[in-house]
Amino acid sequence: MCGIVGVVRFDGRPQERAVLERMTDALAHRGPEGRGLHLAADGGISIGLGHTRLKVVDLSEAAGQPMSSDDGAVWVVFNGEIYNFRELRASLEQRGYRFRTSSDTEVLLRCYEAEGERCVSRLEGMFAFAIWDARARRVLLARDRVGKKPLFYVLTPALFAFASE
């Protein structure tokens, strides 16, 4: 069990770090073993991602979140478990993708890099995640088909916000 939060602002205002910290702190009970934030702004859009971590699959600090692509253009916050991540990883490695962790989070990130939003159809497990793609200037929010992992969101003219609680 981990916690994920995020805010994407469309109104030109920067995402306030203190607000994102409070949102993330509210989920500390979902992931008492780690905490991470990512804030960015790009042409009138600002984004903040937060994560609280319960270490299960990869216990190393390198597997912490938010996790970024090698070039820093794609970021993910993830809650859950991808049951078929080993098979997906092997397939991605055959296609030339390299990994720095043994986490299912990084497999999700690389799968998105390889297949875009189609990656969701390849995932087996219980999960909720958000991926910020700075190149495409979009956020992909998804959860498992059964809805095992909670995910709540709100959309207003000024912002899109989400949280796992």
Residues designated as active site: 2
Distance CA 12, CA 151 (A): 26
| CA distances in angstroms from 67 to 12, 58, 70, 76, 108, listed in the order given | 25, 13, 10, 5, 10
Q: Among 157, 42, 58, 151, which Cα is nearest to 106's?
A: 58
**Both structure tokens of 148:** 């095992």
